[in-house]
Amino acid sequence: MLAPVRAPVLVAAGGTGGHLFPAEALAAALAERGLAVHLATDGRAARFGGAFPEHCVHVVTSATLRGRNPIAVTRTAVTLGLGLLQARRLIGRLQPAAVVGFGGYPTIPPVLAAAWSGVPSLIHDANAVMGRANRLLAPRVMAIATTFPDVVGGRPDLAAKTTITGNPVRPAVLAVAATPYPAAGDRLRLLVVGGSQGARIMADVVPPAIGHLDPALRARLTIVQQAREEDLSRVRDCYAGLPVAAEIAPFFADLPARMAGSHLVISRSGASTVAELAAIGRPSILIPLPHSLDQDQFANAGVLERAGGAIRLEQNMFTPARLAAEIAALEAAPARLATMAAAAQAVARLDAADRLADLVLTVAAQGANK
């Protein structure tokens, strides 16, 4: 019989919403079971790590490997080595029951330190293609959790310890997941987001696309758009000149509620965005990040596209004229929008956080009984 877990759990995540939001969801599920959760992350987490108490957030030195320049590779290795020493000290102090990595290079020091210290460890990969940091860690952890099937590349050794949990979504997403799709009416509400850090392409393409629309349709629009600080003025000026009702900001803390109130979402296709679109059930036009080595966003968008819940446009096809045509076609077919919303929601796993929490506790208990 496995012993109950009482020690804290350490989650490790890169400092972007795509990594931190699933970690936040797991933390909430573990807290409901009476466990304390600490976060190891990097310095970018201030905007997205607010769900964790300040005394439970630990910044660990890390770096991302970019290119093959020998000097850059050496510098990254030294930085990660320093992070590994910091992580070993942190684990020695916290004595966690388990360490859970959520992807991104900042997860490497804590998860490696756990594996080398004999602390139970596992990783979660949110994407349809496993990321590079998780590929490095996968052979060294006790368990792997994935959002989609066939992520481990047909390796029997990894498949044997893989569980499909889905991608955990934040409590704020679950709170609005049952919101009915908005009925067709006088207004058509668009939400435009570029991932947790914004995307300049949305500022370049969406405002002129709105300008291509028939004035009668444009008058019906209400737009909420995320834009980078450096793009705010030009996006606002463009919409003011049309004119069209629009709210522009670099970040929306209430993004799940904004998504629930939208008829159509135009977005990048990071794993958390795709999971939230499915959980809330909203149709989308998805523009995958084109320069990713793993093409994970292209694969993520494909999941919703195949389900019938999204239109996937490669960035070279994402032009003002093409986007205007897609918006106009969807506006003219409200029944299609509602069908896409239902199709997106059909692929949701609303219990993903609980599934992952179960796996974490099982791994922790198995480690304690060794």
Ranges of residues in the chain with a pLDDT under 50 are 1
Closest CA to 139 of 117, 158, 164: 158
* pLDDT for residue 17: 75
Evaluated on CA atoms 276, 278, 283, 287, the torsion sign reads positive
* pLDDT for residue 67: 62
Evaluated on CA atoms 236, 259, 194, 299, the torsion sign reads negative
* pLDDT for residue 2: 58
* Residue spans of alpha helices (H) in the chain: 17-31, 70-94, 108-117, 132-137, 156-159, 171-174, 200-212, 215-218, 232-241, 255-260, 271-280, 296-307, 320-331, 334-346, 352-368
Output the six-digit token pair for 320.
Answer: 């003002």
Strand partners, 248: 225
What is the rounded CA–CA span in Å between residue 151 and residue 356?
16
Strand partners, 285: 266, 311
* Residue spans of alpha helices (H) in 95-129: 108-117
How many angstroms from the chain centroid is the CA of residue 359?
A: 20
Give the three-state DSSP class for 340.
helix
| Contact by Cβ (8 Å): 58, 43 | no
| Contact by Cβ (8 Å): 282, 265 | yes
Dihedral of the CA atoms 197, 203, 209, 215 (nearest 10)?
A: 110
Q: Name the DSSP class of 45.
A: G
Give the three-state DSSP class for 91.
helix
Q: Quick one: residue 346, left, alpha or beta (phi over 0 = left, psi -120 to 50 = alpha)?
A: alpha
Give the three-state DSSP class for 32.
coil
* pLDDT for residue 43: 73
Output the six-digit token pair for 240.
Answer: 């003011």
Strand partners, 311: 285
* pLDDT for residue 154: 80
What is the rounded CA–CA span in Å between residue 313 and residue 333?
19
* pLDDT for residue 30: 96
How many angstroms from the chain centroid is the CA of residue 263?
A: 21
| Contact by Cβ (8 Å): 272, 20 | no
* pLDDT for residue 261: 97
What is the rounded CA–CA span in Å between residue 70 and residue 76?
10
* pLDDT for residue 66: 65
* pLDDT for residue 194: 85
- Which residues, at least 6 apart from 112, have a Cβ–Cβ distance to it below 8 Å? 84, 87, 137, 140
φ/ψ of residue 222, rounded to 5: -125, 120
Closest CA to 202 of 253, 273, 131: 273
* pLDDT for residue 49: 54
Closest CA to 296 of 274, 263, 329: 274
φ/ψ of residue 33, rounded to 5: -100, 10
